[in-house]
Amino acid sequence: MNRKIGALSLVVDDYDKAIAYYTEKLGFKLMEDIPLDEKKRWVLISPSGDTGTTDLLLARAADEEQKKAIGNQSGGRVFLFLHTDNFRRDYENMKAKGVSFLEEPRHESYGTVVVFEDLYGNKWDLIEHSFSKKT
């Protein structure tokens, strides 16, 4: 059986604001932006633009309950893990673009990592593993 997680849904308040942040600040690629009706769009972004990666589906909050989840989809824990093949390059680039880092980069047994927040306050790890990841 060959399966993978193709996308994760990330609740946002505005499609265009979210697209701008993830593409301009984090360097993601806009993969799809398809209107579904007057209020809803199918918006997929990818960290690399490759079809083999897990995408993020930007889902605009449709009601008050969903709005409460914006920025807190994981109860305040690190929610998403952005893997990189060059930590220093991506860290410096993101820092120069105003990404909010919550700590200084640190070296762990598994690699180099730093926690940052996106525009909504979701916590992410930027990580370069020090070992080969099996796929």
Q: What is the DSSP string of 27-80?
A: --EEEEEEE-SSS-EEEEEESSS-TTSPEEEEEE--SHHHHHHTT-TTTTSEEE
Structural domains of the chain, with CATH = 1-70 (3.10.180.10), 73-134 (3.10.180.10)
Binned average pLDDT, 10 residues per bin, the chain of 135 residues = 91 98 96 95 90 90 96 94 96 98 97 97 96 57
pLDDT the model gives residue 1 = 84
The pLDDT, as a whole number, for residue 132 is 59
Predicted confidence at residue 2, as pLDDT, reads 83
Give the separation between CA 62 and CA 79, rounded to whole angstroms. 21
pLDDT at 116: 98
Backbone angles phi, psi at 111, to 5 degrees: 155, -165
Q: How far is it, in rounded angstroms, from Cα 93 to Cα 99?
A: 9
Give Cα 48 distance to the centre of its chain: 11
